[in-house]
Chains A and B, each alone.
Chain A
């Protein structure tokens, strides 16, 4: 019977070899796949352990706006947001069961210490037998500007719908980004998951969508602020100068239809013929409708594209599972609609970020910079690992001379036009108001874009008030939006 026993031994060897190979496959080759939360989000072990790791802090000018504190419970660390709701649209939130968002999501690898850029630090931690430490993310945000933007929106009420974006024109660094209404991330990051879930569900059910980052996700007609793009196209076409005379009457008959285009208040813009500069100052619809028809939809669209309209998403610093940068659009208007598109109505839609970039592009001599939010990544001991370089999105959105002309026209808006409420004593401010109609049944949107100082600008701002629960006639870019822009600009300039 020894021969079959020997065969049996070989068979058993094969069985055990199969087990060993399979286990090696499972625990070695398949391990990375099975422990990847993106591929297997239901792997609670990895999720739990990630939740129990100390995460790096998110800093703004050296102060933490998100940090991990020892919690003393089984998860060891609690993520806290010292500034509460003020930075929530930037930091996002870090939760065990409700997902993660904002910088917490997009910089997750850095914050957990798993980023390849922190590889050397990880090896050092490993050799020194220390627990790997999360990296630190420093933001481009200017705390004073952020506070001014947040307070400005809050002053209109906690349920006001709106957004503020401020950009440093020369670099594209985002100095402030606030959306309203917003949420307090501390209420989602707590370790009482039932309570956190209830809070989250309440936010999801809220009709005003507090989890939305209106600064990058919301696309609305930019109204008269879009006249900056039309003016840029007009000046660049060579057919117009700031002093060109344009029609300033009460109405413009739209071609091929019986519709007429009127001005905001139904009055004349100050005579049958006014300069282009004056037309911008008083935000003359008739004038810009005419200009639009003259230079044509294609020219305006090309100009808009140079500022970032219709482009693939270029701002990915907040691109998480829920949030994505909305692409601003110009559309393909027919001839009568071209007049409406030229004044930022019809199919034209822009995000607050996009309008801030229009202002920043003009402020930066026609060069549009790619906006970014992460200034630098550093290791736990604050050694800088990676500094985000500035990148050019469009080198010549307009020529330097056109940019200069546009700036002068925008200064006129603030000095003698609709933007007086944004004036800052002793400093030249360039700006443009907008009040966009959408439907007759709902209030218009108030916009304001600006930058200061007019020459060598340090800050460009876009403010959108989507709905402020005020009387219809109390809504205007100059009344609601411009004071907030002014406060943000002052906050930057006073430093």
Chain B
């Protein structure tokens, strides 16, 4: 028998309290930095943040008692830091009064996120049941991705047509599609992995798949390309294709797919560069950000902010993150870098690293292939998204618009990411829960086999 995992809910609670110290402390520090005093609403703010986090914790205790104890505290800390930074930018004298309510709205979104988190844990008792919805989710994801292109519903914001607008509510369907796609990919690949894994021929030490098995990857490649071309969304395009490729590799254990995918990615990237002005602008801005008319104003401002922050940062409320356009969303990491310094940024990247590591660990110990694949996909989606957005704003790779999970202002992203964490906890609970014990049945052949769940 393999090792029996402990519940570790007490450890989770302890870490959650630490994360609340980070979140509420950051909020207080913002008040001190900007106004010189602890904000008057610290009790209500701290209270609601704590209530949300504790509600999530209680749900985990009741519905997923064996789940990983580190994931929720990481998310709570990141979400708290994000809220504090959005609040800090709200307070900055930007001359845009419309922006001054971002933090309040974000808290509401966090509430919805936690609600989604609780709902997932309550409704989905076993993640394997999601496999039944493979094609439903796949279709839903495609519809969601296409929605922004519909006239009347879709809306172009900051150059990318990735928003839908219903009444007063605007929403980025791509974020929800991300979750659905992971489930759909996992369901599909678990069924078809044998064909995709075994057939093929060997060329130069690498097993290459058969031509007729290329269908799915080519389909995904075309979908990603069309997201780039029709929606001008480089980030999502990269994210979805990368996600599919990695899940394909994990399910088939066959590096040849990575080669095929890499070649396709190269072709797609080159094609995108040639045909889309959007991509050309981003690449030029990446290569020569300080050239005149480089189009890299935002990137350069973010870098100036981070450089000014230096090792230890200006201190919360004492920098000028509002100088960078969209400093509360895509560029929230440079904002944090400016005020918390390299120290803070490294801590945040480490938190993401831990998040991914816990997700992949869940995949490793999961007993069923569908769960394994889903957990690996969900964990990797965070890794890739963080890499693309953080690498983009720090000029490691060309800038592509993606939200920074749990930090960026933006409702769809926050809710979707909370749901992902709930799914990971569900899989983790299943994986860590001790397996059913079989009673000894050799004595009495007539009695039914008794299975007792712990």
The reply to whether B307 and A34 form a contact with Cβ atoms under 8 Å apart is yes
- Given A6-B364, A27-B337, A45-B304: A40 in contact with B290 (beta carbons within 8 A): yes
A residues near B395, Cβ cutoff 8 Å: 22, 26
The reply to whether A5 and B372 form a contact with Cβ atoms under 8 Å apart is yes
The reply to whether B307 and A35 form a contact with Cβ atoms under 8 Å apart is yes
A residues near B162, Cβ cutoff 8 Å: none
Number of A interface residues at 8 Å Cβ cutoff, please give it. Answer: 35
A residues near B310, Cβ cutoff 8 Å: 27-28, 31, 35
- Given A15-B383, A35-B307, A35-B308: A23 in contact with B342 (beta carbons within 8 A): yes
Against A, the Cβ 8 Å flags (1 = close, 0 = not) of B260-275 are 0000000000000000
Bound-complex Cα distance A40 to B303 (A): 12
B residues near A9, Cβ cutoff 8 Å: 356-357, 360
- Given A5-B364, A26-B395, A35-B307: A44 in contact with B352 (beta carbons within 8 A): no
Q: Which residue of A lies closest to B249 (CB)?
A: A4
B residues near A441, Cβ cutoff 8 Å: none
- Given A4-B253, A48-B320: A26 in contact with B305 (beta carbons within 8 A): no
* A-contacting 9-mer, from B19-27, B153-161, B384-392, B406-414: B384-392
A16 within 8 A of B: yes
Bound-complex Cα distance A26 to B307 (A): 6
Interface residues of B in 304-340 (CB under 8 A from A): 304-311, 319-320, 323, 337-338
- Closest beta carbon of chain A to B8's beta carbon, Å: 21
Among candidates B342, B364, B387, residue contacting A19 with C-beta atoms closer than 8 Å: B387
The reply to whether B383 and A28 form a contact with Cβ atoms under 8 Å apart is no
Number of B interface residues at 8 Å Cβ cutoff, please give it. Answer: 50
The reply to whether B304 and A43 form a contact with Cβ atoms under 8 Å apart is yes
The reply to whether A26 and B360 form a contact with Cβ atoms under 8 Å apart is no
The reply to whether B250 and A1 form a contact with Cβ atoms under 8 Å apart is yes
Q: Which residue of A lies closest to B342 (CB)?
A: A27
B170 within 8 A of A: no
Among candidates B250, B307, B337, B346, residue contacting A8 with C-beta atoms closer than 8 Å: B250
Against B, the Cβ 8 Å flags (1 = close, 0 = not) of A145-188 are 00000000000000000000000000000000000000000000
A3 within 8 A of B: yes
A74 within 8 A of B: yes
Interface residues of B in 337-385 (CB under 8 A from A): 337-338, 341-342, 345-346, 349-350, 352-353, 356-357, 360, 363-364, 369, 372-373, 376, 379-380, 383-384
Bound-complex Cα distance A24 to B396 (A): 12
- Given A8-B360, A9-B360: A28 in contact with B342 (beta carbons within 8 A): yes
Instruction: Give me the interface of B with A, judged by CB distance under 8 Å.
Output: 93, 246, 249-251, 253, 290, 300, 303-311, 319-320, 323, 337-338, 341-342, 345-346, 349-350, 352-353, 356-357, 360, 363-364, 369, 372-373, 376, 379-380, 383-384, 386-387, 390-391, 394-396
Apart from A1-B373, A4-B249, 18 more pairs, CB < 8 Å: A5-B363, A5-B376, A8-B250, A9-B356, A9-B357, A9-B360, A16-B349, A16-B353, A22-B391, A22-B395, A26-B306, A27-B342, A30-B307, A31-B308, A34-B304, A34-B307, A45-B305, A45-B319
Instruction: Give me the interface of A with B, judged by CB distance under 8 Å.
Output: 1-6, 8-9, 12-13, 15-16, 18-20, 22-24, 26-28, 30-31, 33-35, 40, 42-46, 48-49, 74
16 A-B interface contacts by CB (under 8 A): A1-B250, A1-B251, A8-B250, A8-B360, A8-B376, A12-B353, A16-B356, A18-B396, A19-B390, A22-B391, A22-B396, A27-B309, A27-B342, A30-B303, A35-B310, A40-B290
